Structure 1
Amino acid sequence: MISVNDLSPAELAALLHFHADAGVEWLLEDEAVDRFAEFEAMKAARQGARAAPPVVSSAPTPSQAPTQAARRSSAAPLAPPSSRAAPAIPDEQAVEQARFAAETARSLGELKTALEAFSGCNLKNSAKSTIFASGSAESGIMVIGPMPSADDDREGLAFAGRNGQLLDRMLAAIGLKREQILLTNVIPWRPPGNRTPSGPEMDICRPFIERQIALAEPKAVLLLGNFTARFFFGGNDTIHGMRGQWREIGIAGKAIPAIASLHPQELLTAPVNKRLAWADLLAFESRLIRE
């Protein structure tokens, strides 16, 4: 086994980044835990729970009764019942609760409070952070990504880590800073293992992201990534078939212009696509100038 003392700083940083992407957030417990003793105790408790009192074929005599009573009182106590998770809220009920919580918010601040208090989506149970819009809505510019990454979840901010650094450079290329725009994600909680959210999970999260857009009242929206584009535009096309085309998304009875482009992660994976993203950014900039 290779010791960490044998790794270079670059190799150690790569290893830590790998663990972070895998969802590892703590390498050590605050206090030492003897897992072997814990397992043995659990096994002994289960065996005690399965142990049944001896079966007597005939009724005990008066002289036998005290002996059997004492035997029952000295038997090992049954293990306490294991705690079970609260039953899941039916999807339809959770969607209604999400819609009510979102619609009653009258500002982005109120909506953030409502989202942080909402417990009807199982994605929240495994996530460390609730990701909400950051930046400023005054510019009328909104950039929306898919779901939080491991870096986002760890830092509590949309587009953190390498993706965020690349996005900052992309925005700077058209004269924007993240502090000047409203930056958020469709899904506020990181799915376990970065899996794609299920249909019911998307339905539960939809009222919150749509309310963010309605309250921000952007004049133009930039959608990043395949998931985000499908979420708002519908269909099963890939991002390469949806990018670079101005469309309208209906939010609270208003038609808001939106254009899709590649997510920074896709550009890090395939840098050749940066030319496509650059063309989309120029189209986005042109629309902002006209507005």
Structure 2
Amino acid sequence: MAEKLQREIAELIGQARGLLLDYSNLGLDDIWLPEPGTLAAGGEANGDWCRSVPETLETIRTDLGDCQRCKLCRERTQIVFGVGNPQARLVLVGEAPGREEDRRGEPFVGEAGRLLDRILLAMGLQRSDVYICNVIKCRPPGNRDPEEDEVAACEPFLRRQLKVIAPEVILTLGRYAAQALLRDGSPVGRLRGNWRTYQDIPLMPTYHPAYLLRNPEKKRDVWEDVKQVVRRLRS
């Protein structure tokens, strides 16, 4: 009985968050509520007011559910939500899951993931120290670039994840992640190495590990970028 009640409460909280997010997307920043002990339409107050429940990564994942918010749901194997430390000081953001990520439900696996692990190790970090996710949580067909409506459906969940984690730095991996978050269509070679911000969080763009596998001469550039990140974290 208690578990059923908890599920029902979690569903109601998720629905309320979704409604508030819809209001926010419409530009409604303030919603009037009557003060505790008063009524909107007269009479006696009916019961206690609910206390605010802090959002967590788990409640965001519950709210996401079996997401059907865009067409990517039709061909995905599973949602790739994100993994890592929920109190991470550094969040790494890629563009979207690939075939192996779609199969395993975890971002940055396979050969590119192993290279990312080596980059983290050079920074003095492990996967358990950081949080890793993507702009898009479902694999686009043929690994194409995500489309605008897909980003519009998925990015609010990324913003909520970042708000809960509250990292000190974001490191974007690859062209599309940087362009999508920064709303800047410049080539990643021009964006990388320069500090920007996303949701008031310092953001450093760099190349994607998969790109480095094809262009190993760019590893030196990535090392220069991550050294800036390390200095920012240490300061």
Instruction: Please classify the TM superposition score into its range, dividing by the shorter chain length.
Output: 0.7 to 0.9
Which aligned pairs between 1:127-166 and structure 2 lie closer than 5 A? 127-166=76-115
Work out the CA distance in 2 between the residues paired with 1:282 and 1:258. Answer: 13
Work out the CA distance in 2 between the residues paired with 1:102 and 1:201. Answer: 18
Confirm or deny that 1:168 pairs with 2:117. yes
Work out which of the residue numbers 209, 212, 218 in structure 1 matches 2:161. 212
Alignment match, 2:177: 228
Alignment match, 2:146: 197
Which aligned pairs between 1:17-56 and structure 2 lie closer than 5 A? none
Structure index of larger Rg: 1
Q: Measured at CA, do residues 113 and 180 of structure 1 come closer, stay the same or move farther in structure 2, by a change above 3 Å?
A: same
Work out the CA distance in 2 between the residues paired with 1:240 and 1:179. Answer: 29
Alignment match, 2:15: none
- The alignment-based identity, stated in percent, is 32
Which aligned pairs between 1:243-258 and structure 2 lie closer than 5 A? 243-250=192-199, 255-258=200-203
Gaps of 5+ in 1: 1-95
**Offset at 1:101?**
11
Q: Is the 8 A contact 1:102 1:208 kept in 2?
A: no
Q: For each residue in 1:27-73, what CA deviation from the matched residue of structure 2 results, as whole angstroms up to 9, or x when unmatched?
A: xxxxxxxxxxxxxxxxxxxxxxxxxxxxxxxxxxxxxxxxxxxxxxx
**Offset at 1:99?**
3.6
Confirm or deny that 1:281 pairs with 2:230. no
Gaps of 5+ in 2: 1-17, 26-52
Give the structure-1-normalised TM-score: 0.62
Work out the CA distance in 2 between the residues paired with 1:122 and 1:99. Answer: 20
Work out the CA distance in 1 between the residues paired with 2:24 and 2:77. Answer: 21
Give 2:234's aligned amino acid: I
Work out the CA distance in 2 between the residues paired with 1:172 and 1:215. Answer: 25
**Offset at 1:137?**
2.5
**Offset at 1:190?**
0.1
Work out the CA distance in 2 between the residues paired with 1:105 and 1:146. Answer: 28
Give 1:193's aligned amino acid: G
Matched residues, number: 191
Alignment match, 1:266: 211
Confirm or deny that 1:188 pairs with 2:137. yes
Q: Is the 8 A contact 1:131 1:158 kept in 2?
A: yes
Work out the CA distance in 2 between the residues paired with 1:124 and 1:161. Answer: 23
Give the structure-2-normalised TM-score: 0.77
Which aligned pairs between 1:112-131 and structure 2 lie closer than 5 A? 112-131=61-80
RMSD: 2.2
Q: For each residue in 1:67-93, what CA deviation from the matched residue of structure 2 results, as whole angstroms up to 9, or x when unmatched?
A: xxxxxxxxxxxxxxxxxxxxxxxxxxx
**Offset at 1:100?**
4.5
Give 1:244's aligned amino acid: G
Secondary structure of 1:222 counterpart: strand
